[in-house]
C-alpha cells in the first residue's frame, strides 16, 4: 500500500497557515460534548491536555507515574531550538527547516518539518509567559547557545534543566485545567490495550497500578504521547519505566509502526561501569559547546592520566574529521566517531570504552566561574556518579541508546492510519527523519501539544458524533478480558528467570547486533535469537506477587513482552533498509572514509510496518518522500 501523508501542497511557507484555515472547526458549545483521552503527560501529552482543556474539550489524561510532572521529559537537559535569531547570526525559519531536514539525513517529510520550524518561535513566547526561567544575558535578553548540526546559536536553555523547567510550565497549565474541571487526571494507570470499534479508535484499557484493577475508558478520540522505545536495548539513557507498550498495543490493533530502525545513539553519556547497571546517564550535548572530544594518539598512552598527555599527543578527532562543525557535529556522526576511536584501541577508562570531553581550553578562555554558570549542575551530577571533578580532569563519555526517531505512522494531522488515534511527540515518526538534532525533541513535543493538535483534532471531531460509543460496547469487555488473560498467563508461568534477566539478554542481543553498527549477518543473527528469548519468556519467566496489588515485577514483565515482539519488527526494518542514513548505519553501505552512504533511488520512503502476528511476516507499506524545497544531497559536515 502507498500511504498518503495528507500534506498540503503549494508554497511551503503558506502550507500550515492554509491548512489551519481549511480545517473544520468545532464550535465552543459543542467542544464540551467531546471526550478526548490523552495517554502520557510529558511535554507533548501535558501540553496537549492543557491546550485542549483550555479550548473547552472534556479531557482525560493518563500517566503511569504518581504525578504528571514526573514524565521522562523532565530528564532533557540541554535546550530547545527556535528560529528567533536573537544573536543576529543568520538564523531563520528556513535555516531551522534546512538544518532539521539535513540533520535527519533527508528522511523526514518537508511539510511537517516546515511546520515545526514555523511554530518554534511561538513555543518560546508561550513558555516565557508561563514563567519558564530561560537563561538570560547581561542585558536581560533571552540567551542562546549552540548545538550539534547547526552553525548558528538557536538553543534556548535553563542551565542543564531545560526539560524539567519546560515540563513544570506545561504541568502548571495542566493543573489550571484540572482545577477548571476540563481535565481529569488518572495517575498510576498503565495503558494495556487500545479499543478499536469498527476500525476506529474509541478508548483504552488500562491497569490501575496500585490496586491491579483493569479499567475501561471510552473517548471520541485517543491521543498517545507516550515517548520512545530505546529501552529495547535494556541499557539506555531513558527512565526504566519508559516502554513501547502503549504504541505497540496500538500496533497490534492495526496502527502502522514507521521506521522503527531509526534509533539514536547519544554521544555524550557516562560510560557503563559494569554488568550491574540497569540504566545509563546522559550528559547534555550542550557540553560539546565548550568541551573538546579527544583520545590519545598512541595506544600506550591510554592508561596514563589525561593531564600527563601533552597536547601534541592528543587526537581531537571531531575537529580533525569535521573542521566546519568540529565538536558540534550531529549526534550520529559524533557517536560513530567515538566508537571508531575505541575500536582502534585508543579508548580510555575501564574497559577502554570511553573518550575524553575536556574543558581546560574553555576554562582558560572564559574562566571556571563562567563554565560553572553554564553547566554547573551537570558537572555536579557527573561528580556524584563518577567521583571525578570535571573542572580538574576531563569527563569520560561514550555513546548510549537515547531516542527513537521511529514511531507510529501519522499523517500531517498527527493521526495514525487508525481513525481517531492521534500520536504526538517521540511516539510518532514525524519530523526527525533518520537522526534527531539536539534540542529538537522538546521543540517537537511542545509544537505538537500546544500548536498542532488543537487544530488538527478539531478537523476529525467535526466529523464524529460525540459519545456515540461508550464503555458499554462489547469491544471494551473483550479488550479487558484479553488484558486479564495475558496477566493471568504471566503470573501462572512461575519459571526461573526474572523479567530483568530476560530483558538484559534481549538488550545484549539488540546492542551487539542492532546497535551503532548493523550488518546483514548481525541482523539475521538477532532475528534468530529474539524469538528464542521470547519463547523462553513465555515458558520460564518468574513473576512474583499477584495482580490485585502494586506489582512492579508484573509491570516489567508486561513491558518486556511487548519489547520482545517489537524488537523483531525493528530488526526486520533495519535488515530491509539496505543503506546507511542518520542513526541507521549498515556497515555494507559506507564510503571509503567510513561515512554513511544513502541510497535515495531505492529507499527514499517511510517504511510503515503492519503487524500480522508473531511468526507471521509483517507487511511493509511505503510513503514516498518528496523533496521540492531542499534538494537531496550528500549529508556532509566537513
Number of domains in the chain: 1
Which pLDDT does position 274 carry in this prediction?
A: 77
Which pLDDT does position 277 carry in this prediction?
A: 86
Phi–psi pair at 131, nearest 5 degrees: 95, 15
Mean residue pLDDT of the chain comes to 96
Q: How is the beta sheet containing 407-408 ordered, strand by strand? A: 407-408, 257-258, 605-610, 619-624
Q: How is the beta sheet containing 200-208 ordered, strand by strand? A: 189-197, 200-208, 214-218
Domain that holds residue 384: 265-402
Q: Kindly report the CATH number assigned to the domain that includes residue 282.
A: 3.90.700.10
Q: What is the DSSP letter of 366?
A: H
Which pLDDT does position 115 carry in this prediction?
A: 98
Total residues belonging to the chain: 638
Task: Tell me the mean pLDDT in the region 519-540.
Answer: 98
Which pLDDT does position 183 carry in this prediction?
A: 98
- Domain-embedded: residue 293: yes
- Is 331 labeled as catalytic in the residue annotation? yes
Which pLDDT does position 372 carry in this prediction?
A: 94
- Confidence check: pLDDT of 351 > 90: no
The one catalytic residue in 154, 331, 396, 577 is 331
Of 421-425, 544-548, 617-621, where does mean pLDDT reach its minimum?
A: 544-548
| Upper half-sphere CA count for residue 601 (Cβ side, 13 Å) | 1
Within 212-303, where are the H helices? 245-252
Tracing cell 492495526 back to the chain, one arrives at 254
- Confidence check: pLDDT of 626 > 90: yes
Which pLDDT does position 275 carry in this prediction?
A: 78
Distance CA 638, CA 621 (A): 35
Distance CA 121, CA 118 (A): 7
* Percentage of the chain modeled with pLDDT above 90: 96
Q: Could you tell me the three cell numbers for 200?
A: 476506529
- Domain-embedded: residue 350: yes
Taking alpha carbons only, the member of 405, 445, 530 closest to residue 108 is: 405
Taking alpha carbons only, the member of 11, 8, 56, 49 closest to residue 33 is: 56
| The overall pTM is greater than 0.75 | yes
- Domain-embedded: residue 530: no
Q: Is 365 exposed, middle or buried (0-12, 13-18, 19+ CB in 10 A)?
A: exposed
Distance CA 555, CA 81 (A): 35
- Domain-embedded: residue 386: yes
Distance CA 329, CA 202 (A): 44
- Domain-embedded: residue 241: no
Phi–psi pair at 266, nearest 5 degrees: -85, 130
Distance CA 326, CA 289 (A): 10
Tracing cell 510503515 back to the chain, one arrives at 608
pLDDT digits (tens, 9 = 90+) for 40-52: 999 999 999 999 9
- Domain-embedded: residue 115: no
Taking alpha carbons only, the member of 546, 635, 626, 550 closest to residue 598 is: 635
pLDDT digits (tens, 9 = 90+) for 495-519: 999 999 999 999 999 999 999 999 9
pLDDT digits (tens, 9 = 90+) for 235-282: 999 999 999 999 999 999 999 999 999 999 999 999 998 778 889 999
- Confidence check: pLDDT of 216 > 80: yes
| Upper half-sphere CA count for residue 436 (Cβ side, 13 Å) | 30
- Confidence check: pLDDT of 24 > 80: yes
Distance CA 231, CA 234 (A): 5
pLDDT digits (tens, 9 = 90+) for 558-607: 999 999 999 999 999 999 999 999 999 999 999 998 899 999 999 999 99
Q: What is the DSSP letter of 159?
A: T
**Residue 404, beta-bridge partner list:** 263
- Domain-embedded: residue 452: no
Which pLDDT does position 304 carry in this prediction?
A: 95
Binning pLDDT at 50, 70 and 90, where does residue 195 land?
very high
- Domain-embedded: residue 85: no
Amino acid at each position: 500500500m502507498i500511504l498518503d501523508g495528507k500534506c498540503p501542497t503549494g508554497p511551503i511557507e503558506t502550507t500550515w497557515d492554509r491548512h489551519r484555515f481549511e480545517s473544520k472547526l468545532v464550535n465552543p458549545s459543542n467542544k464540551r460534548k467531546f471526550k478526548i483521552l490523552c495517554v502520557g503527560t510529558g511535554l507533548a501529552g501535558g501540553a496537549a491536555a492543557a491546550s485542549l482543556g483550555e479550548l473547552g474539550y472534556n479531557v482525560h489524561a493518563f500517566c503511569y507515574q504518581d504525578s504528571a510532572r514526573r514524565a521522562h521529559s523532565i530528564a532533557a537537559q540541554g535546550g530547545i531550538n527556535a528560529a528567533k535569531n536573537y544573536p543576529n547570526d543568520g538564523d531563520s525559519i528556513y535555516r531551522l527547516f534546512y538544518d532539521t531536514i539535513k540533520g535527519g539525513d533527508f528522511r523526514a517529510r518537508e511539510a511537517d518539518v516546515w511546520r515545526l520550524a514555523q511554530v518554534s518561535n511561538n513555543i518560546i513566547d508561550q513558555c516565557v509567559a508561563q514563567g519558564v526561567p530561560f537563561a538570560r544575558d547581561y542585558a536581560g535578553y533571552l540567551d542562546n547557545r549552540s548545538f550539534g548540526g547547526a552553525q548558528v546559536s538557536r538553543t534556548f536553555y535553563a542551565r542543564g534543566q531545560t526539560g524539567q523547567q519546560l515540563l513544570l510550565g506545561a504541568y502548571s497549565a495542566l493543573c489550571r485545567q484540572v482545577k477548571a474541571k476540563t481535565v481529569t487526571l488518572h495517575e498510576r494507570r498503565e495503558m494495556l490495550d487500545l479499543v478499536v470499534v469498527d476500525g476506529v479508535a474509541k478508548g483504552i484499557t488500562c491497569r490501575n497500578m496500585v490496586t491491579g484493577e483493569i479499567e475501561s475508558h471510552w473517548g471520541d478520540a485517543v491521543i498517545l504521547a507516550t515517548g520512545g522505545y530505546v529501552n529495547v536495548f535494556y541499557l539506555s539513557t531513558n527512565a526504566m519505566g519508559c516502554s513501547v507498550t502503549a504504541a505497540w498495543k496500538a500496533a497490534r490493533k492495526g496502527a502502522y509502526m514507521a521506521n522503527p530502525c531509526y534509533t539514536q545513539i547519544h554521544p555524550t553519556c557516562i560510560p557503563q561501569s559494569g554488568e550491574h547497571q540497569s540504566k545509563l546517564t546522559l550528559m547534555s550535548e550542550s557540553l560539546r559547546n565548550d568541551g573538546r572530544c579527544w583520545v590519545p594518539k598512541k595506544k600506550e598512552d591510554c592508561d596514563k592520566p589525561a593531564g600527563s598527555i601533552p597536547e601534541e599527543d592528543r587526537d581531537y578527532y571531531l575537529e580533525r574529521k569535521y573542521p566546519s562543525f568540529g565538536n558540534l557535529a550531529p549526534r550520529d556522526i559524533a557517536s560513530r566517531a567515538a566508537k571508531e576511536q575505541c575500536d582502534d584501541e585508543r579508548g580510555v577508562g575501564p574497559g577502554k570504552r570511553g573518550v575524553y570531553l575536556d574543558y581546560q581550553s574553555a576554562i582558560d578562555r572564559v574562566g571556571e566561574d563562567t563554565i560553572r554558570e553554564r553547566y554547573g549542575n551537570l558537572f555536579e551530577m557527573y561528580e556524584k556518579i563518577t567521583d571525578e571533578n570535571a573542572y580538574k580532569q576531563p569527563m569520560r563519555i561514550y555513546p548510549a541508546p537515547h531516542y527513537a526517531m521511529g514511531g507510529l505512522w501519522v499523517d500531517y494531522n498527527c493521526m495514525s492510519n487508525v481513525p481517531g488515534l492521534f500520536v504526538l511527540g517521540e511516539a510518532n515518526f514525524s519530523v526527525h527523519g533518520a537522526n534527531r538534532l539536539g534540542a529538537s525533541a522538546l521543540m517537537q513535543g511542545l509544537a505538537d501539544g500546544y500548536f498542532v493538535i488543537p487544530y488538527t483534532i478539531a478537523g476529525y471531531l467535526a466529523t464524529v458524533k460525540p459519545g456515540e460509543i461508550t464503555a458499554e460496547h462489547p469491544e471494551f469487555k473483550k479488550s479487558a478480558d484479553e488484558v486479564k488473560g495475558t496477566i493471568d498467563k504471566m503470573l501462572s508461568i512461575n519459571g526461573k528467570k526474572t523479567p530483568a534477566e530476560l530483558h538484559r539478554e534481549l538488550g545484549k542481543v539488540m546492542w551487539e547486533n542492532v546497535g551503532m553498527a548493523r550488518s546483514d549477518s548481525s541482523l539475521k543473527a538477532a532475528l534468530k535469537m529474539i524469538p528464542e528469548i521470547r519463547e523462553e519468556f513465555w515458558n520460564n519467566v518468574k513473576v512474583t506477587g499477584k495482580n490485585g496489588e502494586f506489582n512492579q515485577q508484573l509491570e516489567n514483565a508486561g513491558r518486556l513482552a511487548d519489547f520482545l515482539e517489537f524488537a523483531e519488527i525493528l530488526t526486520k526494518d533495519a535488515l530491509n533498509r539496505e543503506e546507511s542514513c542518520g542513526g541507521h548505519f549498515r556497515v555494507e553501505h559506507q564510503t571509503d572514509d567510513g561515512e554513511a552512504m544513502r541510497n535515495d533511488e531505492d529507499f527514499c520512503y517511510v517504511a510503515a510496518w503492519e503487524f500480522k502476528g508473531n511468526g507471521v511476516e509483517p507487511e511493509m507499506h511505503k510513503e514516498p518522500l518528496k523533496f521540492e524545497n531542499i534538494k537531496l544531497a550528500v549529508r556532509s559536515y566537513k
